[in-house]
Every structure is written in structure tokens, then in C-alpha cells.
Amino acid sequence: MAVIDIIEEASDGDIARFIHQHLTAKLAETDAPIAISVPGGSTPFPILQELAKSDLEWSRITVWPGDDRIVPQDHEASNTGKIRALLEPAGAEVVTLTVMEQVPHFALVWLGMGADGHIASLFPNTDPQVDAPARITRLTPDPLPPEAPFDRITLTIPALLDSDALMFVIRGDEKRAVFDAAAKGEHDLPVSRLLGAAGQKVTCFT
């Protein structure tokens, strides 16, 4: 079970500074590019906007969406399109998820979590496994969220675990209760499976 550092009542600026410091340190360790994975949804984008204005060496950072809806990138539901519009002008390369992509080791995997315990697009009905053979998979959530009724493509638990550090931003009492129970191994939802197999540093901002 992972050891989790929980940082309470963090602002978007606090989280952006944490990511900046972590990635700056990782860039200093190598001359090669590094890869990160970021989530979609409403919570990350104000944080990403702060990061995009920073002095990170974006030209050496490849950004992977943790998941996306199977829609054109100019569709309002596309995570990739929104991330690309924000970070490519800063100099980052943003990957389009396909099942043929070769997933790298990540310097940082940033995840959100749904109230049902899903991470990326690994919903409870998809029964994600920590030893899944694929690093990327296409699937259909059940039930389909009414605000985004689309098939998904997502990184799998092994891909997310192939990282130096994991980071969550969990906002709201309902989600916090699910996350805390996962951290204690009190249920078998996707987030609990991930945390149960994680050996790297995990930081959770609330």
C-alpha cells in the first residue's frame, strides 16, 4: 500500500508550484526529454494555465492525456484538444492516445478521481487489473456519464504505475471519503487497486 502525502486546502497556485518543482528537478537529472501524464475535466485546466505561464523547459516535456473521449480534437469533450491548445504554444509536445502508441516511463502521473472511484477512464465496470497486458485500452464506461456519453481511450494501471511519482487532486467531501477509504484498502474500486500496487511517492492535494 502506498504512503500518501496529503496536502490540505491547496490552491491551484500551490499545485502548479509543486508540479513545477518536481518537473524542474526531473529535467535536471537528464539531458533527454521527460514525459508526464495529466487528466482532463474541469479541475486541471486552471492549474495547467498557471503552469503554461511558468519558465519550465516545455520543449523537453511530452504531455500524455491520461485518457480521452473518442471524439474529434476540436470537440468540446476532447481532453487532448484542450491540453494541446494550452500547452503546445508553450512548447510542449502533446500526444494523441491511440492503442498503437508506445507508452514511456513517466516523470509524473497526475490523476483525478470520480466519486465512483474511477481513475483516468478506468471505471469500476471495466475491472482494471494491475497486471493488464496492454498499456493503452479502448473501452465503454457503463453507465455512460450523461455529460460525456462517449467511448474512451485510456492508460491502464500498469502504464500509470510506470512513473516516478503519482499525484491526485481530490476536491469535495464525497470524493475525499472514497479516496481515504482507498488509501486504507477498504474497497476494491480502481483507485484502490492503483494505490495498493503503488510503490512510488503519492501526493494528494485537497
Residue range 67-97, pLDDT digits in tens: 999 999 999 999 999 999 999 999 999 999 9
Considering only CA atoms, which of 154, 153, 168, 159 is closest in space to residue 197? 159
pLDDT above 90: residue 47: yes
User: Dmax over Cα atoms in the chain, in whole Å?
Assistant: 45
pLDDT value for 1: 66
CB 103 within 8 A of CB 155: yes
Angle (nearest 5°) at CA 44 between 142 and 49: 150
| Counted domains in the chain | 1
The residues near 163 (Cβ < 8 Å, ≥ 6 apart) are 37, 105, 106, 107, 108, 109, 200
Mean pLDDT taken over the chain? 96
Query: What CATH number does residue 9 fall under?
Result: 3.40.50.1360
Residue range 166-185, pLDDT digits in tens: 999 999 999 999 999 999 99
Q: What is the average pLDDT across 115-138?
A: 96
Q: Quote the domain boundaries for residue 175.
A: 4-205
Residue range 134-151, pLDDT digits in tens: 999 999 988 888 888 999
Q: What is the average pLDDT across 190-202?
A: 97
CB 152 within 8 A of CB 141: yes
Q: Residue 111, SS3? A: strand
pLDDT value for 110: 98
